[in-house]
Chains A and B, each alone.
Chain A
């Protein structure tokens, strides 16, 4: 099946700094990508939908100025957590639709962010 990669897999940063997470579709093009965060033992929470060539669509309650999303190409979307705080520590996962006649999503391996 298709592969979605994320980089980095783990990152530790200090409060107040910014962190960029990359999501790439490796063998297919994705005009849309999704960004999720997941707290321990909790459900996946959709943060935003990244759209190639246009602005991302953010879910209610997600600060667009704090979580900057850029869909630079048909294979790359980036999430930048700006001015990170310890409460931003979480597991961030991106996904891309499989396309065609299926609504399956291919997920990246996730990024574990720890803010100290």
Chain B
């Protein structure tokens, strides 16, 4: 079957750096997305990786290793507003998004 694994919850301190990992096993791969979702709101797009390596976008970076079925989202200079759930999703061979359960990130002052 298809499976996306990411930690359920993480806690970090304001101003620090946090890395959220995602491992996947899917039927085919056409890219991996990271979305941010605040409680009670819809997900918002953060990043899309289809090639191996690191993509940097401001305070957020996303890394992909296709051979390892692994990605991480790196958040730097954490702010209180970064408290949210972070969803990892893989586009499979049918171009269907397979979603992880999300990682709830708690930022403490």
A contact set with B: CB distance below 8 Å: 1, 41-46, 91, 93, 95, 102-110, 112
Residues of A within 8 A of B96 (CB): 46
**Given A44-B87, A93-B42, A110-B42, does the pair A102, B48 have CB atoms closer than 8 Å?**
yes
Residues of A within 8 A of B91 (CB): 103
Give the docked Cα–Cα distance between A107 and B30 (Å): 20
Pair A107/B100 contact, Cβ less than 8 Å? no
Give the docked Cα–Cα distance between A6 and B104 (Å): 24
Pair B101/A103 contact, Cβ less than 8 Å? no
Give the docked Cα–Cα distance between A109 and B40 (Å): 8
B contact set with A: CB distance below 8 Å: 4, 8, 30-31, 33, 35, 40-45, 48, 87, 89, 91, 95-97, 99-102, 104
Pair B101/A43 contact, Cβ less than 8 Å? yes
From B40, B45, B95, B99, A43 is in contact (CB under 8 Å) with: B99
Give the docked Cα–Cα distance between A106 and B45 (Å): 8
Residues of A within 8 A of B48 (CB): 102-104
Residues of B within 8 A of A104 (CB): 33, 45, 48
A43, chain B: closest CB distance, angstroms: 4
Residues of A within 8 A of B89 (CB): 44
Q: Beyond the given A46-B96, A103-B91, A110-B42, please list 11 additional residue pairs across the A-B interface where CB-CB is below 8 A.
A: A41-B101, A41-B104, A43-B4, A43-B87, A93-B43, A104-B48, A105-B45, A105-B97, A107-B35, A110-B40, A112-B40
Pair A109/B41 contact, Cβ less than 8 Å? yes
A38, chain B: closest CB distance, angstroms: 9
